[in-house]
Amino acid sequence: MYIVVTGAAGFIGSNIVRALNERGQTGIIAVDNLTRGDKFRNLVDCDIVDYLDKRDFLSSLQAGDFDGVVEAVLHQGACSDTMASDGRYVMDNNYRYSLALLEFCIDEAVPLIYASSAAVYGAGSVFREERGCEAPLNVYGYSKLLFDQAVRRRIGEADAQIAGFRYFNVYGPREWHKGRMASVAWHFFQQFRDQGRVRPFRGSGGYGDGEQRRDFVSVEDVVKVNLHFLDHRDLSGIFNVGTGRAQSFNDVACAVVNASREAQGRQVLSLAEMQAEGLIEYAPFPDALRGKYQHYTQSDIGILRRAGYEEPFLAVEDGVRRYCRALLGAEEQGGNDSAV
């Protein structure tokens, strides 16, 4: 029996594959789209039994080649570009593809654990897994919401687990390939390394410079949630996955700067000291993001907690520090970033 991980060469998918390996599980079928070939680096330190292109996997699935041999599907693959303008591609990739996996898992009574997104909430101020809170600002968020709605309609038919996770702002190792869609922590780290400063956005949406607030969650915690549900297959539903605490972009900036300074044996600074020394410099808010930007997110994790997930979540100060140390360690080893 195999565990299927889609998006396996991507950010969250590759972290899940590695975590499964650490538990001794290597019977993993990795599914992805390697049109961007260098993503293979995220799987170099992982053990899998096979790799399939996402199109070939779907064809084989629909042909019955995987009937009776799949233990569980962890569906992390998606077009995650919130600024994507090709709605036809996003809907086909995120919605239609996911529907085909849902159909297979229901027919075969196979657990389906899948990635949704906090983008379904749009610019709202309440982040609960309820229809009245859901108003996406872009086609990416809409594609995720539409699949969540399909799950809500069909979950009663399933004889096996169906669990969807609305990830908030995830950061951590193995996101190097994501470009503009990489986390704020990753971008700030690159800015400080290259320019000696970080550049949060100036004030917007009623927030001061760098004070826009998001629920920043470490990929370490995201992986733990996925594995908890894999181990507790009686748990189904749609769940927010975040820390439950909004923190500012300034908090992330301070964590990055101080982690980098600590690695150099230099003293930790306050936000005001960083601003005074020019280590934080605020960038104009981009016109392209106006009307499409979540200035505030904070997950309500009540349903997740009531489902029995009791592990604490890393705050920015701890999670970003650990991430920066990993990035700095990779640079010291000659720039091998396959795991960061």
Task: Name the one residue in this structure whose structure tokens are 């826009």.
Answer: 212
Count, residues in the chain = 340
What is residue 252's three-state secondary structure?
A: helix
For the chain, what percentages of helix, strand and coil (3-state, to nearest 5) are there? 45, 15, 40
178 is catalytic: yes
Task: Name the one residue in this structure whose structure tokens are 């193995």.
Answer: 174
Asked if residue 200 lies in contact with residue 250, where contact means CB atoms within 8 angstroms, the answer is yes
Nearest CA-CA partner of 252 in 224, 212, 307: 212
- Of residues 51, 54, 178, 292, which has the active-site annotation? 178
* Separation between Cα atoms, residue 149 and residue 110, nearest integer Å: 20
140 is catalytic: yes
Number of other CB atoms surrounding residue 244 within 10 Å: 17
- Of residues 140, 167, 282, 296, which has the active-site annotation? 140
- List the end-to-end C-alpha distance of the chain, in Å, as a whole number: 30
Q: Output the six-digit token pair for 230.
A: 């894999």
Work out the angle between the directed axes of helices 219-231 and 11-22 (0-180°, nearest 10): 60
Q: What is the CA radius of gyration of the chain?
A: 20
Task: Name the one residue in this structure whose structure tokens are 């936000």.
Answer: 271
Question: Strand pairing partners for 113?
Answer: 74, 163
How, if at all, do strands 2-6 and 28-32 pair? parallel
One-letter amino acid of 73: V
Say if residue 157 is exposed, middle or buried (CB neighbours under 10 Å; 0-12, 13-18, 19+). exposed
Asked if residue 114 lies in contact with residue 163, where contact means CB atoms within 8 angstroms, the answer is yes
Number of other CB atoms surrounding residue 85 within 10 Å: 9
Residue positions annotated with a catalytic role: 140, 178
